[in-house]
């Protein structure tokens, strides 16, 4: 299993998790928060919502924040809001909260990260009940799109892509972690599930009012059905007048592809108690994962000759997929 935090940064995770509860029931809370230009305000909003999620309404075992929850989503903000991970104030604050509230799994959405070399990444953070940072994921597929009459966004103008597939153990089984645009790439989910054994896929995300209505639910339900997984995606809420209009509609989807909890675009706490046994049931009933025809599938589509990085990435992916 890979978590992209370096071994020195991350506690040995498996020994920290308690045994899975026999019921396999998992209480999930998605915190769809309004993000402002004020980082301190964003952190305070997140802290209040985390406290509410775990201390009211029956509590929560898995709490998920949105993509870029401490920073407005926009290329011009990433640099000024970026912090080291670990070592920055957001990591410290989330770690302290996870420890104080003994949250089994806190997915601290994503934040802009500045590396010691000065690179910027869009990075998700995961903490356990002791406050240990047990995984990080640097967004692997950057959101570079140009939809005529819709949205143009070029994350790669400021951000560098991560180069890891990220999965981590939880008391309810292995989780896969991607960020927003990563959800469009089923090969990434395939490796999380078929190489690393993921049973739930988690995506802090911030779709927009162009692609959200078209593709948000479709993609989340597709990943759930493709891989017989629980899928959870947490968005910021829509803030009137903000430069980036988030789609909202944070969502929990079952391994059968049904939407078990969602909301509209405003600030929301989306909760569900989910049964991890449904993963096994769905995979037994519709066993696509064991009916793969790897003998038919190849990833030999050539990359453009001048794009050596892309070619190297595709080759690595091919090796991983074929080793399943």
From 24-32, 43-51, 189-197, 207-215, span contacting ligand AKG (CB under 6 A) = 207-215
Answer for the pair 196, 13: CB distance below 8 angstroms, yes or no.
no
From the candidates 68, 180, 229, 234, which is the catalytic residue? 180
Closest Cα partner for 299 from 310, 283, 315? 315
Nearer to ligand AKG, 140 or 279 (CB): 140
Give yes or no for residue 180 binding ligand AKG (CB under 6 A). yes
User: Cis before residue 123, ω within 30 degrees of 0?
Assistant: no
217 noted as active-site residue: no
Nearest distance from C-beta of residue 274 to ligand AKG, angstroms: 25
Nearest distance from C-beta of residue 184 to ligand AKG, angstroms: 5
From 42-50, 100-108, 177-185, 301-309, span contacting ligand AKG (CB under 6 A) = 177-185
From 49-57, 87-95, 205-213, 224-232, span contacting ligand AKG (CB under 6 A) = 205-213
68 noted as active-site residue: no
Nearest distance from C-beta of residue 155 to ligand AKG, angstroms: 7
The half-sphere exposure of 233 on its side-chain side, counting CA atoms within 13 A, is 34
Nearest distance from C-beta of residue 225 to ligand AKG, angstroms: 19
Measured CA distances, 210 to 153, 244, 302 (Å): 12, 11, 31
Nearer to ligand AKG, 95 or 208 (CB): 208
Q: Which of 211, 237, 245, 262 binds ligand AKG (CB under 6 A)?
A: 211
Using CB under 6 A, which residues numbered 56 to 75 contact ligand AKG?
67
d(CA 29, CA 45): 15
Measured CA distances, 112 to 44, 79, 132, 145, 179 (Å): 17, 7, 20, 20, 12
Q: Which of 166, 208, 235, 254 binds ligand AKG (CB under 6 A)?
A: 208
Q: Alpha-carbon Rg of the chain, whole angstroms?
A: 19
In this structure, which long-range contacts are made by residues 283-290, counting pairs with CB atoms below 8 Å and at least 24 apart in sequence?
A: 283/228, 283/255, 286/228, 288/226, 288/228, 289/193, 289/194, 289/227, 289/228
Spacing of C-alpha 14 from chain mean position: 20
d(CA 11, CA 134): 6
Using CB under 6 A, which residues numbered 237 to 276 contact ligand AKG?
none
308 noted as active-site residue: no
How many residues bind ligand AKG (CB under 6 A)? The answer is 10
Nearest distance from C-beta of residue 121 to ligand AKG, angstroms: 13
Using CB under 6 A, which residues numbered 97 to 156 contact ligand AKG?
143
Q: DSSP for 46-80?
A: HHHHHHHHHHSTT--SEEEPPTTTTS-SSHHHHHH
Q: Which of 82, 85, 206, 234 binds ligand AKG (CB under 6 A)?
A: 206
Q: Which of 184, 187, 280, 313 binds ligand AKG (CB under 6 A)?
A: 184
Q: Which residues contact 124 (CB under 8 A, 6 or more apart)?
A: 67, 107, 108, 109, 110, 136, 137, 139, 166, 177, 179, 204
Q: Which of 69, 181, 203, 230 binds ligand AKG (CB under 6 A)?
A: 181
From the candidates 68, 71, 113, 139, which is the catalytic residue? 139
Q: Which of 168, 203, 207, 230 binds ligand AKG (CB under 6 A)?
A: 207
| Residue 215 CB neighbour total at 10 angstroms | 15
Q: Which residue ranges make up the site for ligand AKG (CB under 6 A)?
A: 67, 143, 180-181, 184, 206-208, 211, 215
Residues classed as catalytic? 67, 139, 180
């Amino acid at each position: 299993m890979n978590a992209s935090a370096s071994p020195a940064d991350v506690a040995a995770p498996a020994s920290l998790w308690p045994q899975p509860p026999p019921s396999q029931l998992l209480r999930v809370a998605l915190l769809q928060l309004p993000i402002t230009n004020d980082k301190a305000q964003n952190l305070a909003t997140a802290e209040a919502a985390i406290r509410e999620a775990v201390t009211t309404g029956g509590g929560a075992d898995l709490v998920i924040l949105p993509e870029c929850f401490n920073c407005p989503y926009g290329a011009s903000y990433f640099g000024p809001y970026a912090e080291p991970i670990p070592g920055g104030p957001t990591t410290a604050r989330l770690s302290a909260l996870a420890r104080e509230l003994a949250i089994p799994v806190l997915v601290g959405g994503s934040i802009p990260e500045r590396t010691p070399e000065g690179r910027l990444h869009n990075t998700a953070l995961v903490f356990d009940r002791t406050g240990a940072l047990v995984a990080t994921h640097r967004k692997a597929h950057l959101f570079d799109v140009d939809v005529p009459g819709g949205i143009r966004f070029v994350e790669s103008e400021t951000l560098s892509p991560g180069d890891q597939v990220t999965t981590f153990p939880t008391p309810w089984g292995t989780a896969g972690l991607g960020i927003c645009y990563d959800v469009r790439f089923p090969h990434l989910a395939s490796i999380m599930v078929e190489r690393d054994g993921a049973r739930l896929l988690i995506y802090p995300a911030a779709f927009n009012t162009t692609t959200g209505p078209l593709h948000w639910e479709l993609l989340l339900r597709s990943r759930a059905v493709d891989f017989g997984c629980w899928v959870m995606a947490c968005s910021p809420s829509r803030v009137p007048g903000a430069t980036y209009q988030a789609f909202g509609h944070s969502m929990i989807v079952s391994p059968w592809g049904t939407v078990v909890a969602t909301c509209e675009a405003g600030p929301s706490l989306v909760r569900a108690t989910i049964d991890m046994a449904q993963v096994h049931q769905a995979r037994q009933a519709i066993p696509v994962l064991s009916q793969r025809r790897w003998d038919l599938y190849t990833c030999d589509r050539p990359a453009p000759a001048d794009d050596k990085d892309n070619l190297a990435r595709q080759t690595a992916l091919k090796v991983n997929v074929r080793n399943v």
